[in-house]
Amino acid sequence: MMTAKRANAIRESNARKAFRICNVIFLTLVCVIVVIPIWNVLITSLAADKDVMGGVYLLIPRSLTFKSYARVLNSGYMRGFWNSLFIAGVGTVLAMVITTPMGFALAQKQLVARNFFMKAISLTLVFDAGIIPLYVLIRMLGLIDNRWALILPFMLSTFNLIIVKNFMMSIPTSFVESAWLDGCNDLMALIRIVIPMAVPILSAVTLFYFVSFWNRYTEAVMFINNSSKYTLQVMLRALIYQSDGSLGEGNIVYDNTKMAVMVLGMLPVMLIYPFVQRYFVTGLMLGGVKE
Amino acid sequence: MKRILSLILTLSMLLSCVLLAEAEAPAKLSICSPDNTFGLSTDPELQQAVVNMLNEACNVDLEAVIPPIGSYNDKLETMMAGGDVPDVFSISQAMTRLPNYVTREQCLDLTELIAKSEKLSALDQSYFQALAIDGKIYAIPYYYPRVKCLFLRKDVMEKYDIQLSETPTTAEFITEMSKLKGTGVIPFSFPKWIDNFQYFLNSFGAYAGIYQNADGVYVDGMQEPQMVDGLNYLRELYTSGVMDQEFITTENATMREYVYTGKAASDIDYVANYSNYISQSAAAEAATDVQPIYMLVGPDGKGGGLNESIQTAWCISSDCKDVDAAMRVIEALVTDPAVHAGFYNTGVEGAHYTIENGVAVATEKATNSGYSIKYNYITDSFIPDFSSLPYQPDEKMKAALELQRSIIDKGMELRGPKQMIPAGKSDLYDENSASITNYWKEVISQIVLGSVTVEEGLANYKNFWNSVDGDTILAELNR
C-alpha cells in the first residue's frame, strides 16, 4: 500500500526541493522579523518596572504582571481610546457610504463627463496642498477643535475610490441592466445587486479606511486644541516623548506603560483583521483589474 | 404711571446687573504650552484642573491648547501661519525661533510692560536680555539658563578606582574612563544629539557654528584652527571605547536609564537633573550618588559646561485683546510659588496629589497616567522661596535638592559660551542658518564615527560653505 502511494507521488527534483527549503527559510525569517517587534511590545508591557529600565530589548519574559494594563485602563488614555474609536468608527461608515455609490457611478460608462470627473479626482493623488492650507480651510469651516475635523475632510480616499470603481467595472453590466429591467432604480441596483457582489473589495477598503482613521496623528494635533478630544495616537506619542524631553524635566514613564498603551492602540485593528482577512487578498486583486 | 416707573426701575436694575457682570467677567484668553507643563500629566482632566487653578489665580477664562511636546513647534507654527496666534504662548528653542516670530510681527514688545510690572522688574534683568532683539524684550523666561555637565556614578568610581575631579583634564578623562573597558560597563553614554559635543569642543576653545570672537568679529567656528584639535579629541573619545559605540541611536531617556541602572558609568545631562539620578537609580535597584564633571580642562586651560542658555520663554501675541490679563497670567506663572509649582511640576491638590503629613503623595489617577511628584521648580525657577507651599519634599529629597542647588550654581559659574546671531543682520544667514547647522552636525558625526577623517570632513564642510556663499554671510554679519 505504502509502496503504491510512493509510486503515485509526483517526484520532486532536487532543485525544486532546494527551492522549497530556501522559500521556507526566507518566509520564516520574514515572519520572525514581523513578529519579533510585536512580541517585544507584548512582553515589555507585561514586565515589571525595574526589568524595562536601561534600554533593554526584551524577548524572553523576566517578569509577568498586568500592572501596566491596570494603570492604563484606569488612566486618561482610555478617553483617547474612545475618541479614536468614535472617529475611526463613524469615519469608516461615512467613508464607505460616500465611496461605494461614487465608485458605482464612476463605473457606469454612460455617466456624463465621466472622464472629466475621473481626471479631477485623480489630480488629488498627485497634488497635496499641505497642512497649512488644510488648517485654514478647517478654520474657515469652523471645525477647529471639533472631532468632525478628523472625519469630514478624509471621508474620501482617491486610492480607495479607484479600487472600488475598478472592481465595479469588472461586474458584468448585464447584472445591473437586469435589475433595471426588473424595476430597480440605480440605488436599488447598487444595494441589491452590486454591493453583495462587491463584498470582498468593500471589506478590504473598509479596513483601509479604518486603519487610516485610527492611525491619523498629524491632523489630530493640528486641528484639535482641547486635549480631552485627542485621539489615542496623539496620547501615545505624548507619552513616548514625555519621558524623553530634551530638558529631562518630564515624567519618567517606563517602557512597560508605553507598550501597554501601544497594545491598546493595536487592539482594534488586530480584532477586525481576522473578520475581513478572507476577503482581503481577493478584494485587492479584483480591485486591481480594469476592464 | 406707577407701573411705568416700576418697569423703568426694574429694567435699569437688570441693565446694571448685566453691566456689572460683564465688568467682572474674567478675560477670555487662549494659552498654548506643551504637555510637559500643565501639571506634568497628559490626562486631560488633570490638565483641566491646572487650567482652573490658573483661571482662579489670575481672574481669566483660559482656553488651553496643550499639544504633545514632540509636535509642539509644528502645532504652534501652523496656528500662527493659519492666523490663530494664541494670546499667550510658550516658545522653545527661543534663540532660533523668536527672531522669526518677531520679524513676522507675531510677538508683542514686552519691554515697557515688564518695566511696569513690580514682580517681573524685580527679577534679574540679564536673563530677560538674553533673548532681547535690538534691545527690546519679546519673551519672558521662567528659569535659569540651562547648563549641562557630565554625571559619573560614584559606586563605579569606587569599584574601578576612577580618580576624576569635578574639573579634570581632557587627557585624564580618557585615561581614567578607559579603566572601564572590558568590564561590561559603558564608560560614557552619549545621546544622538550632536550639538552636545560642544561640551568637549569648549575644552579646545572651539565653537561649532558662526560666532563672534574676542575681537568682536563674526567667524565660522568650523573653519577656525582650534576646531581640528576639538574634532580629533572627539574621535579619540570614540575610538578609545570611552564613548558609547552606539550613541548615534541613543535617545536621551535611554542614555539616562543606562546610568540609572549602572549599565553606563556616566552621561551628559542638565545640572538641574542631579536629583533624578538619586531617585531613579534607587528605583532601578542600583542606588548611587553621582559626581558632576562641570568641564574638561583642555591643553590650553580652556573649558566650560555645555551652555544652552535660555531656550523656553513666554510670549504674548501682538493681536492679544487683553494684554493686562495676559501679563497677569505670565506674572503668576513666573513669580507665584503656588502657580509656578503647580503648572510646571506638581499640579493641583486633590487632582494630582494629596498632602499626607506635609508631603505630597500622587493620586492613583495621576500615577496611572505616568505622573510623579517632581521638585525641580525649587532649583530651576527665579522664585527664591517655596516655603509657603503646604507640602514640602521629604528630608532625603531636600538634601538632594540642596546639593542640586549648589551644582547648578557651580555649573552656571563654569558654563561655556553660547552665541546668538541677531536676526535681520544678514538675509543670507537667515536663509541658510538651518542648513549650516545641519551640515556641521552631519560632518561632526561622520568624523566621530570614522566615515571620514577630520581633514576630509572639514574639506567637505568647506565645499558646502562655498556653496551657500558663506564668506558673504560673514561679510554681511561684520558689515
Report chain A residues whose CB lies below 8 A from the CB of B245. none
Residues B243-255: tens digit of each pLDDT:
999 999 998 888 9
Task: Give the pLDDT confidence score for residue A5 in this predicted structure.
Answer: 56
Q: How far is CA B363 from CA A272, B41, B201, B284, in A?
A: 36, 12, 45, 22
* Cβ–Cβ contact B254 with A under 8 A: yes
- Gap from B15 CA to chain A (nearest CA, Å): 32
Task: Report the residue of chain B nearest A261, measured CA to CA.
Answer: B369
Give chain B's domains with CATH numbers: 23-144+311-348 (3.40.190.10), 148-308+418-478 (3.40.190.10)
Residues B108-149: tens digit of each pLDDT:
999 999 999 999 999 888 888 878 888 889 999 988 888 999
Residue A269's closest CA among A73, A89, A79, A31?
Answer: A89
Residues B149-160: tens digit of each pLDDT:
999 999 999 999
Is residue B447 predicted with pLDDT exceeding 90? Answer: yes
Rounded CA gap, B189 and B92, in Å? Answer: 25
Cell numbers 505624548: residue: A238
Give chain A's domains with CATH numbers: 2-67 (no CATH), 76-287 (1.10.3720.10)
**Are B417 and B199 a contacting pair, CB within 8 Å?**
no
Total length of chain A:
291
Surface of A (147-206) touching B: CB under 8 A:
none
Task: Give the pLDDT confidence score for residue B430 in this predicted structure.
Answer: 82
* Cβ–Cβ contact A257 with B under 8 A: yes
Cell numbers 472592481: residue: A167
- For every residue of A142-195, which 3-state class applies, written as one string? CCCCCHHHHCHHHCCCHHHHHHHHHHHHHCCHHHHHHHHHCCCCHHHHHHHHHH
- Gap from A241 CA to chain B (nearest CA, Å): 6
Task: Give the pLDDT confidence score for residue A248 in this predicted structure.
Answer: 46
* Cβ–Cβ contact B67 with A under 8 A: yes
Instruction: Choose between B8 and A232: higher pLDDT.
Output: A232
Which of A78, A242, A258 has the highest number of chain B CBs within 10 A, making it the mutation to test binding with B?
A: A242
- Gap from B67 CA to chain A (nearest CA, Å): 6
The average pLDDT across A27-37 equals 93
Partners of B143 in the β-ladder: B381
Cell numbers 535638592: residue: B401
Residues B348-379: tens digit of each pLDDT:
999 999 999 888 999 988 888 778 888 878 88
Which of B190, B263, B369 has the highest number of chain A CBs within 10 A, making it the mutation to test binding with A?
A: B369
**B311: Cβ contacts below 8 Å, ≥ 6 apart:** B92, B93, B94, B95, B146
**Are B264 and B186 a contacting pair, CB within 8 Å?**
yes
**Are A209 and A92 a contacting pair, CB within 8 Å?**
yes
Rounded CA gap, B8 and A276, in Å? Answer: 72
* Cβ–Cβ contact B199 with A under 8 A: no
- Gap from B78 CA to chain A (nearest CA, Å): 6
Is residue A138 predicted with pLDDT exceeding 70? Answer: yes
Task: Give the pLDDT confidence score for residue B21 in this predicted structure.
Answer: 53
* Cβ–Cβ contact A246 with B under 8 A: yes
Q: Which amino acid is at B419?
A: Q
ipTM of the complex: 0.79
* Cβ–Cβ contact B93 with A under 8 A: no
**pTM recorded for the entire structure:** 0.80
Cell numbers 512582553: residue: A43
Surface of A (35-64) touching B: CB under 8 A:
49-50, 53-55
* DSSP character string of B426-471: -HHHHHHHHHHHHHHHHHHHHHHHTSS-HHHHHHHHHHHHHHTTHH
Q: Which amino acid is at B436?
A: I
Per mean pLDDT, which range of A227-236, A282-291, B318-327 is the poorest? A282-291
Task: Give the pLDDT confidence score for residue B124 in this predicted structure.
Answer: 85
- What percentage of chain B exceeds 90 in pLDDT? 63
Is residue B22 predicted with pLDDT exceeding 60? Answer: no
* DSSP character string of B231-285: HHHHHHHHHTT-B-TTGGG--HHHHHHHHHHTSBSEEEEEGGGHHHHHHHHHHTT
Per mean pLDDT, which range of A26-35, A66-75, A135-144, B418-427 is the poorest? B418-427
Cell numbers 494629596: residue: B354
